[in-house]
């Protein structure tokens, strides 16, 4: 991210940072983010199925998806891609949405920020890939900022499950469905 964005984050509060190394080449990890058939196999919380409504993997494009949980519960999400530098970096704003892709407040806690800016950097290291996720809210209230910062442990656990699924997917050779 540009220096001015990092300064703004530092002035507003803390960012969530998660790092994970995958036993797969960077190009494969990048493809896992960039193709609908691949994303559907690993993205999201453990125990849910991802149904891709759309994936336009380009700056200004979107990833709109439905998460279906056991018992019939469903939630929708959406990314708006801001920057894509293959195979190094992906920047997007993540939101919850309705089935039409309109932004909605998180259904589980109205104090959670509705928009989270995410930056994923991928670094090749001897045939493996170190992924670093940085996330922070944008356009948030003071209450939403405090809620976000109070959720770091929960978000690390949630992303841990998602990265576990990505790891398992990559272990299969990362083939599309």
Dump pLDDT digits (tens) for 69-101: 999 999 999 999 999 999 999 999 999 999 999
Q: How confident is the model at residue 108 (pLDDT cuts 50, 70, 90)?
A: confident
The single-letter DSSP state of residue 80 is E
Q: In the chain, what are the domains?
A: 3-171 (3.30.530.20)
Angle between helices 26-34 and 152-171 (to 10 degrees): 110
Strands (E), 23-170: 49-55, 62-68, 74-85, 89-97, 103-104, 116-125, 128-137
pLDDT at 177: 57
pLDDT at 7: 40
Whether 156 shows a pLDDT value over 90: the answer reads yes
CA-to-CA distance for 92 and 58, rounded, in angstroms?
Answer: 10
In this prediction, residues 38-63 reach a mean pLDDT of 96
In this prediction, residues 143-147 reach a mean pLDDT of 94
């Amino acid at each position: 991210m540009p220096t001015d964005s990092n300064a703004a984050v530092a002035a507003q509060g803390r960012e969530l940072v998660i790092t994970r190394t995958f036993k797969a080449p960077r190009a494969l990890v990048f493809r896992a983010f960039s193709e609908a058939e691949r994303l559907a196999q690993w993205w999201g919380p453990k125990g849910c199925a991802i149904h891709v409504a759309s994936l336009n993997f380009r700056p200004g494009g979107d990833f709109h998806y439905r998460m279906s949980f056991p018992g019939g519960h469903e939630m929708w999400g959406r990314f708006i891609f801001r920057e894509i530098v293959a195979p190094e970096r992906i920047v997007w704003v993540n939101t919850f949405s309705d089935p039409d892709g309109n932004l909605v407040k998180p259904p589980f806690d109205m104090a959670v920020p509705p928009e989270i800016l995410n930056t994923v950097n991928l670094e090749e290291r001897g045939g493996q890939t170190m992924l670093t996720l940085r996330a922070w809210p944008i356009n948030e209230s003071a209450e939403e900022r405090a809620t976000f910062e109070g959720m770091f442990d929960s978000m690390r656990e949630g992303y841990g499950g998602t990265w576990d699924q990505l790891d398992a997917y990559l272990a299969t050779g990362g083939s599309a469905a």
